[in-house]
Amino acid sequence: MRMQFGPDSDDEFHAAAQELLDGFAGWLTENEVVAEPMSAELLLQYKWLAGDGDLADWPLEHVETFLDGWCPHVVLEHRLPVRLVPASVAAFVEYLDERGLLAPGSPRPSQVRRLCGEYVEEYDELEAGAGSPLLTELGDDPDPVRIPSPADRAASAAQARILSDARALAAWCGPRGRALTATGNLRLADARELVDLLGTGDEPDRVGRLDRATRLRTLTWVLEASARAGAVRREAGRLVAVPRFTGLDDTSAHEDLVLAARDVGALSTGWPHGPAEDPADPDRPDRDATPALVEDAVPGVDAVFTGEIDDQAIEELLRAGEGPPSEDATPALLFLLRHVDDGVDLRHALDVLLDWSEDAAGDADVASLRTAVLLEQLERLGVVAWTGSRREPDGAGGVRVGGIVQLTPGGVACALLLLAAEDLHYPTRPDPAVASAAEIVELAGEVPPDEWRRDIDAWHAAQPDPARAVSDFVAAALAPGQPLLVALTATGVAADRFGAEAVDALLREHLDGPHRGMVARRLVARGELDADAVEPELLLLASVDVLAVALDTVEAQDWPDAFAAEFPPETVEVFDALWRLDHPRVGEVLAALGEHHPDALVAKAARRARERWRSRTGGS
């Protein structure tokens, strides 16, 4: 059976997935296993859409990513018994193994089941609380997102449709500008021309009654965003180009347009939505007729704005509690910033994040249309790229579904600006090519280790003086107030990336610094410093530091190995002095050594030392 599928193998994947799911459902019944086949379906979709497409190989990191980040955002949409997700994932891998479909190099089912067991309590709480996936997103501290380089942002901005829209609109105005209606709107003939010129996708002939240009949704928000950003302006009854905008670089112009789009409500699918009467508009074909509203529109006709978008309307709606204007896009941006590198199938997630299915009284088609509208607006703004989608027919001419949505380089920067406008400040990390040594060092523990090492290498390669850069890196790692974990990790990585001998030479300069115990310990271990030249208490304090970090960062099952490496059997005599140390965590370290050290004599010495420490300090 074929088990590996690329992103373009849509039909083949779905056929294979259905065969696997049918077999899994039968296996569950046959073996009386309590599990949920829909969870397995989501697992397969994750592997195909966001993983490597290999349905036979289940690395633990893939299972963890699914359970920890991907699944909670879509599982509630399907109304699954959430608590069964971990058990269902473990059962599905067992099913693959029994059927001979599990890859030889894949972790064994027992390993997967142990990992899934760690998520049982979390999923029990998720089901009990029935929490919003958005709150789940905001409840965890996200990894800092890298701000793309200026060159990448400029290239991305240059490709944004909204930028070409604004410039084309300004050029269309010409030297004399274009006449507007008495209320400042486009004339219908001009609106039809612009629909074709800009390719907005509006369909004038499908609107039940095109009595004014503002019924053309995309054209309207593109025009208003361009005016708000200063590409064009209304002046003396005409729409005219603004010279200042032509002098802006692509990045600045793009960011101005995206922020302007927020201000005019283009980041919300239904905002603003108040109908505005325009009885004096001379361009209306029937001035005495009441304008057709969305709810009175012809069935199968495009949904459109029902009123002008202007500052006064925005202020009125905000006062009425209808804002902020980007509320629909906010959860989408928060979600996408967590998936900058791989993107996500955001359509399903948005329906759940915004409860649109409930707002639409259970009408999935309406919810899907709202989602597609928002994503298409973000796509036109150059904030996201939406690839691999397909158009499914519906009463309004089709709605886009599926595919992967991913922030563009310019979209990352714009997303951060838009969230800041909502007073949401997402953690960031700089482009390593322009970062300082301190900024790179402070990423320790904030980003995955492999990514951090890649950033260090990119930072070092961009430095004009590599030797000075290494010195600055070590100094930043050992700076006053730097957490011990960062100091230990950063100096170790520095030795690995820049050369142990070069780093040892720099460490000597910090023997009198705030991390002198750790520095002396490393130099002694490397044979670069005579242990007799260092006061014994300093090295013992360094040992307590190292084990305190191990207690905080190492899994409990790995403690015995760490303890044996730090205090082998021949060091048992040091415990006569260890309990006397003035260190805030010496009691905790002695307790852990007494319980988990693999050598019985060392463990006994640690327990005796802890009792002496308790007698001396009154600690518990």
Q: Please write the tens of the pLDDT for every residue from 442-495.
A: 888 778 888 889 999 999 999 999 999 999 999 999 999 888 888 988 999 999
Which pLDDT belongs to residue 7? 74
Evaluate if residue 538 carries a pLDDT over 80: yes
Average pLDDT across the chain, whole number: 80
Which pLDDT belongs to residue 270? 57
Which pLDDT belongs to residue 128? 59
Closest to 490 in 3D by CA, of 519, 458, 528, 523: 519
Evaluate if residue 147 carries a pLDDT over 50: yes
Q: Which residue has the higher pLDDT, 211 or 388?
A: 388
Query: How far, in Å, CA of 33 to CA of 42, rounded?
Result: 19
Closest to 92 in 3D by CA, of 47, 43, 53, 30: 43
How sure is the predictor about 285, in pLDDT bands with cuts at 50, 70 and 90?
Answer: very low
224 within 8 A of 309, measured Cβ to Cβ: yes
Which pLDDT belongs to residue 269? 62
If one counts every other C-beta atom within 10 angstroms of the C-beta of residue 246, the result is: 12
Closest to 595 in 3D by CA, of 540, 549, 556, 537: 556
What's the pLDDT tens digit per position in 4-23? Answer: 888 778 788 888 999 999 99
Strands 428-429 and 145-146: what pairing?
parallel
Which pLDDT belongs to residue 319? 44
Query: How far, in Å, CA of 165 to CA of 380, rounded?
Result: 9
The three-state DSSP-derived secondary structure of 488-511 is HHHHHHHHHHHCHHHHHHHHHHHC
How sure is the predictor about 441, in pLDDT bands with cuts at 50, 70 and 90?
Answer: very high
How sure is the predictor about 210, in pLDDT bands with cuts at 50, 70 and 90?
Answer: low
> Is the Cα dihedral 409, 437, 524, 534 positive or negative?
negative
What's the pLDDT tens digit per position in 55-106? Answer: 999 999 899 888 876 777 665 544 556 778 888 999 999 999 888 899 988 9
Q: How many CA atoms lie within 13 A of 290 on its CB side?
A: 5
Evaluate if residue 223 carries a pLDDT over 90: yes
Mean pLDDT of 227-247: 94
Which pLDDT belongs to residue 280? 39
| Burial class, 79, CB count within 10 angstroms (exposed 0-12 / middle 13-18 / buried 19+) | exposed
Which pLDDT belongs to residue 564? 93
Evaluate if residue 328 carries a pLDDT over 80: no
What's the pLDDT tens digit per position in 259-272? Answer: 999 988 888 765 44
CATH code, 329-428: 1.10.10
Q: Which residue has the higher pLDDT, 620 or 406?
A: 406
Mean pLDDT of 212-227: 87
Query: How far, in Å, CA of 184 to CA of 344, rounded?
Result: 41
528 within 8 A of 504, measured Cβ to Cβ: yes
Sorted by where each begins, the domain ranges of the chain are: 10-131, 151-280+302-319, 329-428, 432-533, 536-617
Orientation of helix 10-31 relative to helix 85-98, angle to 10°: 100
Query: How far, in Å, CA of 39 to CA of 52, rounded?
Result: 18
Quote the strand ranges of 82-198, DSSP E. 145-146, 178-179
Closest to 484 in 3D by CA, of 537, 564, 549: 549
Which pLDDT belongs to residue 415? 94
Backbone angles phi, psi at 264, to 5 degrees: -95, 5
- Residue given tokens 């890298």 in the structure block: 146
Distance in Å from the first CA to the final CA of the chain:
61
109 within 8 A of 89, measured Cβ to Cβ: no
- Residue given tokens 């302007």 in the structure block: 260
Helical ranges in 381-515 per DSSP H: 409-421, 437-441, 449-461, 466-477, 484-498, 500-507
Evaluate if residue 543 carries a pLDDT over 80: yes
Evaluate if residue 619 carries a pLDDT over 90: no
DSSP β-bridge partners for residue 240: 233
How sure is the predictor about 361, in pLDDT bands with cuts at 50, 70 and 90?
Answer: very low
Which pLDDT belongs to residue 252? 96
How sure is the predictor about 146, in pLDDT bands with cuts at 50, 70 and 90?
Answer: confident
Q: Which residue has the higher pLDDT, 352 or 230?
A: 230
pTM: 0.57
Evaluate if residue 274 carries a pLDDT over 50: no
Residue 89 has which token pair?
């994932």
Q: Which residue has the higher pLDDT, 439 or 445?
A: 439
pLDDT over 90, % of the chain: 37
Closest to 198 in 3D by CA, of 231, 234, 154: 231
